[in-house]
Amino acid sequence: MSERISTQLLAGAPARDQILDSLRTRIVQAGSPTITLATVLVGDDGPSKRYVASKHKTAAEVGIGSVQVDLPAATTQQELNEVVARLATDSTVHGILVQMPLPNHLDAEQVLRLIPADKDVDGLTSESLGRLVRGLPGHVGCTPLGVLRILEHYKIATAGQHAVVVGRSTLVGYPLSVLLARKGIDCTVTLAHSRTEGLDEICRSADILISATGIAHSITAQHIQPNAVVIDVGISRTENGIVGDVDPEGAMGRARALTPMPGGTGIMTVACLMENTVNAAVLQGIRV
């Protein structure tokens, strides 16, 4: 039986605050140029409305302007497409975010195809993912970027480390695996998923274990190598509240470091959206 070790909690708040403080300073030092983020929300889903509101609040706090387009749930595909196409050609708008998920009758892919890659601050379009794979300037999805920023903030070494990413979604797992293998980050990456055989053994080979499946407490002590760094990206709502993919009882005392859930990777996303918005302005010729 492995000896219990002291597990460091990698709270998201300090990393988030560092990003926002840096952006605020950067904008002021550049003379506070006008940078604008546009959000599009269809319907009146409560969590989506709160999430969009937090984005506008944070934008104001760091010196980014914002435009909020709220559309009724009955909005047609053509109406939504026209709104997004208009924002795409508006030179005063530097970043566009269409809040997901959309109502069932709307096709998200149609909408995403209308967002220019330079304005795709959520990093969701096919071109943004292609730029990531090719190593070209562009925007990384806010959740994968948030994971990287936590690793950087806590000075977790990545070069030459074996990172196992569990979950292959194009929103998190796949882009994160590409990001971690990038030159300068230099992980050796294994991308695992629901059909992976011997998952527990593969996970135990990880120096950095990242789970993004949304399956509550599916990562247990048997998946964790002693002294590994464990990053929990999954989120599940249960009778006992919000929990992550990682069983904290199994990870504490075994992992060297662990992101809490809640309070870990999730609170990084809005800060990374602000980072992407400032970088979008730079790609469009604004000096920041």
Catalytic residues: 55, 99, 122
Burial pattern 58-92, b for ≥16 Cβ within 10 A else e, equals: bbeebbbbbeebebeeebeeeebbebbeebbeeee
Q: Which amino acid, one-letter code, is at 191?
A: L
Strands 65-71 and 162-166: unpaired
Burial pattern 213-247, b for ≥16 Cβ within 10 A else e, equals: beebbbbebebbbeebbbbbbbbbeeeeeebbbbb
Residue 17 Ramachandran class (φ > 0 left, ψ -120 to 50 alpha, else beta)? alpha
End-to-end CA distance of the chain: 53
How far apart (Å, rounded) are the C-alpha atoms in residues 88 and 130?
19
